[in-house]
Amino acid sequence: MTVSHWRRSFRGPATLDVGVCVIGAGVCGVSAALAAQRRGESVVILERHTLASGASSRNAGFLMRGAACHYAEAVELYGRSAARDLWRFTEANLEGLRREGCEVLASYRRVPSMLLALRASGTGLRPVWLPSAEYASANRAGLERSLTLMREDGLEADWIDANSGHRPDDAAWRSGLVACALVNPHDASVNSYELMSMLAAKLKAHATIATKVASPLVENQEVFAIEPQGQGQGRGFVVRAADFAVRARHVLVCTNAYASLLLPGFDELVKPRRGQMLALDAQGRTLTASYYCNDGSEYFRQAADGTIVVGGCRTYFAEEEVGFEDRTTASVQGALESFARAMLGYGDEALPITALWAGTMGFSPDGLPLIGPAGGGSSPWFCGGFTGHGMSMGYEAAHEAVGAMLEGREPMFSIARVRT
C-alpha cells in the first residue's frame, strides 16, 4: 500500500512514549513485543492492517527443524558449526513456542516432518514438479548425506525407504511417488492464526500507554517514517503512523517481506517472494507426517480437522512469483492441483478444494535471518529475512533481536554480514 502526502503531513493528536516500538504484527513482531515486555519495557506494536495479516497467517503451519535447504547443503553453504547452530536454533524456536503453551491449541499436532526424495519420472512429458532422473538421484544423495552429518552432529534424525518402510495408511506413501524420506522426529504443526492469536493475547497493556491505547497492539496504523531524535543518553526515534506519533528509545522493524517499503537500501537485502497454497476437504485420506519435497519446492500436511493443505510450485514460475501482490495465479495453482492429485491419489476425481491463497515471504541474500541496526550504527533495528521459514525461526529470532538491541551487543545472524 502507498501512503499519500496528506497522511504523511497530517500530525495526529496522539503521541505515545514507549521504551520499544515494534513495527509489524507477524510472528516476529508479536514475539519481539512479548520479549521486550518481559524485560520490563513499555511496548507498542504498530501494524498496518491487522494481527498476522502478512505471511504469519498465510503459511502452511509447519513448525519444522532446519532451513530452506537440507542439512548437507547448509553445511556446504554456512560451514559445519553454523549449520548445527542453525538447526539447534530452530529446535529452540519450537521449544519456545511450547513454553508459551502452543501444545494446548486445538490445531497443534506433534507430528514428524519428512524431507522426501521423489522417484524419477520416465522420459517424455512430465508435470513441472516431477523430478528428472538426474535431480531425483542428487536429491536422494543430498538427503542421505544430511542424515549422516546430522547424526554425527548429535541431531536426531531417522530414515525411511519406500522399499522397506511401507506405510499403507498414508496417502503420500501409497502414491508410489516417494522414494525415501529423512525424518525430523520431534517437529509439530499448527494453525498459524490460532498460534498468533495465542501469542497476541499474552501482550499486556503498560501503565504509561494504557490511557491512550487499549492494547499494545495497535492495528490499522501503517508506519511511513522513522525519524532519529535527540543525542547521547536521550537518543531515540519518532515513529510516524496515520494516527500516532510514537516516541521510542528503541525501534524494531519486523515487516519482513515489506522491509524495503520502509527502510532505505533493503531492496537487495530482503526480496519479496510470493508463495501460494490450496486447502482440500480430504475426507478419507490420511497423512502421518508433514511433508517437504523437491528441496522444499512443494510441501503438504494434514491439519487437525483432516483438511490437507498443499503449497509451493513457485520455483517453476519464479519470475512471476516476485513482488507484493496478494493473488493466486492459474499457472501455480494448476501445478499445485496436478501435484495434489497425484500425491494424494485423486486420479480423475474432482479435487475438493476449499481455499486458495497467497502470501509474501522475505528472502535474504544467503537464506539466513537478518538481525541488527537497519542502517548501521544507531539506526532502528531490523529482524526478518526468514526465507520461507519464519514460523520455525521468528519467535527465537525476535528474542535474539530484542536481547541484542537492549543489551547493545552484536546479535546472532548479524545483518552486518551482508551489508556492503
Ligand X SMILES: Cc1cc2nc3c(=O)[nH]c(=O)nc-3n(C[C@H](O)[C@H](O)[C@H](O)COP(=O)(O)OP(=O)(O)OC[C@H]3O[C@@H](n4cnc5c(N)ncnc54)[C@H](O)[C@@H]3O)c2cc1C
Give the interface with ligand X as residue ranges (CB under 6 A): 23-29, 46-49, 53-56, 58-62, 222-223, 254-258, 262, 275, 277, 311, 359, 361, 384, 386, 388-392, 394
Residue 136 or 278 having the CB closest to ligand X: 278
**Strands 308-312 vs 298-302: parallel, antiparallel or unpaired:** antiparallel
- Shortest distance, position 253 Cβ to ligand X, whole Å: 8
Contact 180, 140 (CB under 8 A): yes
Buried b (16+ CB within 10 A) or exposed e, 374-404: bbeeebbbbbbbbbbbbbbbbbbbbbbbbeb
The residue (of 282 and 358) whose beta carbon lies closer to ligand X is 358
Q: How far is the CB of 3 from ligand X (least distance, A)?
A: 8
If the CB atoms of residues 61 and 375 are measured against ligand X, the closer one turns out to be: 61
| Smallest separation (angstroms) from ligand X to the CB of 120 | 26
Question: What is the 8-class DSSP label of residue 62?
Answer: E
* Strand 290-293 versus strand 113-118 pairing type: parallel
- Number of helices followed by number of strands (H, E) in the chain: 10, 19
Beta-carbon count within 10 A of 227 CB: 11
Closest CA to 33 of 414, 415, 399: 399
Nearest to 402, CA basis, from 16, 25, 30: 30
φ, ψ for residue 242, nearest 5 deg: -55, -50
Nearer to ligand X, 172 or 262 (CB): 262
Alpha carbons within 13 A on the beta-carbon side of 195: 32
Cβ closer to ligand X: 60 or 162?
A: 60
Strands (E), 230-314: 236-241, 244-253, 271-280, 290-293, 298-302, 308-312
Q: Which is nearer to ligand X, 24 or 112 (CB)?
A: 24
The CB-of-238 to ligand X minimum distance in angstroms stands at: 14
Instruction: State the minimum distance, in angstroms, from the CB of residue 129 to ligand X.
Output: 16
**Amino acid occupying residue 37:** Q
CB of 157 to ligand X, least distance (A): 18
Q: Give me the residues paired with residue 109 across strands.
A: 189
> 251, 21 in Cβ contact below 8 A?
yes
**CA atoms within 13 A of residue 405's CA, in its CB half-sphere:** 34
Give the position of cell 547448509.
Answer: 74
Taking the complex as a whole, how short is the minimal distance between the CB of residue 278 and ligand X, in angstroms? 10
Nearer to ligand X, 62 or 291 (CB): 62
Q: Smallest distance, Å, CB 90 to ligand X? A: 8
d(CA 120, CA 301): 22
The CB-of-401 to ligand X minimum distance in angstroms stands at 11
Question: Between 42 and 392, whose beta carbon lies closer to ligand X?
Answer: 392
**To the nearest whole angstrom, how small is the minimum distance from the Cβ of residue 61 to ligand X?**
5
Task: Identify the helix (H) or strand (E) that includes residue 113.
Answer: strand 113-118
14-23 and 298-302 strand pairing: unpaired
Task: Select 24 or 162, whichever has its Cβ closest to ligand X.
Answer: 24
Which CB, 22 or 180, lies closer to ligand X?
22
